[in-house]
Amino acid sequence: MDLERTPLRRRTGLPDISSGGNYGTSEMIRLTKSEKWGEELGPGRSIFMAVNTRKEGITLGLEGYQSWVNLLLVFVPVGILAGLSHWNQTFVFLANFLAIVPLAMILGKATEDIAAHTNDTVGGLLNATFGNAVELILCIQALRQGELDIVQATLVGSILSNLLLVLGCSFLFGGVIFREQSIKPAVAESNGSILYIAVMGFLIPTIYGTTSGRTTEGMESLSFFIAVVMLLVYFLFLFFQLVTHASMYEMNDDDDENDETHEESKVSSVPVATTILLVSCLFVSRCSDYLVESVSSFSSAVGLNTTFVSLVLLPLVGNAAEHFSAVSVAMKDKMDLSIGIAVGSSIQIAIFVAPFLVVVSKLAGFSVLTLSFNVFETAMVLLSVMLVNTCLRDLSTNWLEGVVLLSAYAMVAIATTVL
């Protein structure tokens, strides 16, 4: 008996193929999938094993992208073709609107997969950079077309959508399953203070411009320097979360181990995830271009004002991934993570995406964007931040608080229909 193979059979439970026994095709395939057997059965089998393993790895990695939402990908070529061919603008808007929804979710999953192959700091930076890529691309396309009102309304709508709609759904659905869900003090306190900084960044230019009659050039300069300060605060906040006080934001170790065991096979390789990320960004950019072009025509055709479309409908596209993720983890009693997704996305929009667009618009020669929003939009952001901080103050959540946040979002949406 071959002593070298005896331990291997005991470990793997494989039969001795050297004994002359007859085994079916499925058994032979099972043998070639063993890494050790692949090495012992010669270079030909080793190559077959390696190719088969590589193919299985890619397939398993793509499992994480499987979703019924992907059925909407059919609207990607339809939306682009409709925009290129100048079809009915209402159809162009709807087709590209539906096309961006699955693209946003795929883009978010690709970012998570790339981050999974890095350390916590790099992964956090990747998620921070690409977490709101859809909103960023959409707003850049609107900037290029000089649609400053659409940009500002979309930014405010994204903040309100995450704070009220996404977080409200998380509180509601999580509260239906669990009577009370606790929150870490660090999550509530740090997020709350950063949200108030964001509000100040919007309030100062808005109030100052309304009361002092500043010139356009003066308001642009004021917004630019405040934007630089907000960007600095954002990167310092990341440093706080990922480096100096990372332990305050860590999840329970048991939860991490269970999640890693369950999701390990659904993480694609870096080359695959990077390719998916780049392709998704290209399609999002193209669809966003046609989407912004058709906003005015769509609004007129369906009888909705541009403010409602920009503040309520467009943010739903970019927040689809956050909405699904935040609600899913809340229903698993991981409210800290759910708040991190929803409130974190709002913070990113407020103190990264918005000031970044202000800086880009001034340096790139686009129509210059300022942080001077209209009074209604600024007031809604302030009230939403105050309401969310009130809900987080007792370090616990329940379904009624979810109803409160959703009711507030419904009132804002109703108000935009008459602006």
Annotate 348-383 with DSSP letters as a single string: HIIIIIHHHHHHHHHHTTSSPP-S---HHHHHHHHH
Amino acid at 403: V
Mean pLDDT calculated for residue range 86-107: 92
Query: Which residues have CB under 8 Å from 34's CB, separation 6+?
Result: 12, 14, 49
* pLDDT (tens digit per residue) in 356-404: 999 999 888 788 899 999 899 999 999 999 999 999 988 899 999 999 9
Annotate 255-286 with DSSP letters as a single string: HHHHHHHHHGGGPPPHHHHHHHHHHHHHHHHH
CA atoms of 146 and 367, how far apart (whole Å): 5
94 pLDDT higher than 90:
yes
At residue 156, the 3 state secondary structure works out as helix
What are the C-alpha distances in Å from 371 to residues 45, 203, 306? 64, 8, 19
CA atoms of 107 and 134, how far apart (whole Å): 8
16 pLDDT higher than 50:
no
Q: Which one, of 341, 336, 309, lies nearest residue 413 by Cα?
A: 309
* pLDDT (tens digit per residue) in 387-398: 999 999 888 999
Q: Which one, of 348, 352, 370, 21, lies nearest residue 220 by Cα?
A: 370
Average pLDDT along the chain? 80
Mean pLDDT calculated for residue range 241-263: 63
- For residue 245, the tally of other CB atoms under 10 A from its CB is 12
pTM of the model: 0.80
* pLDDT (tens digit per residue) in 258-267: 554 445 557 7
Contact 226, 380 (CB under 8 A): no
Q: Supply angle C-alpha 152, 153, 158, rounded to 5.
A: 100
CATH 1.20.1420.30 fits 65-416, yes or no: yes
Query: Which residues have CB under 8 Å from 350's CB, separation 6+?
Result: 155, 159, 195, 198, 201, 202, 230, 381
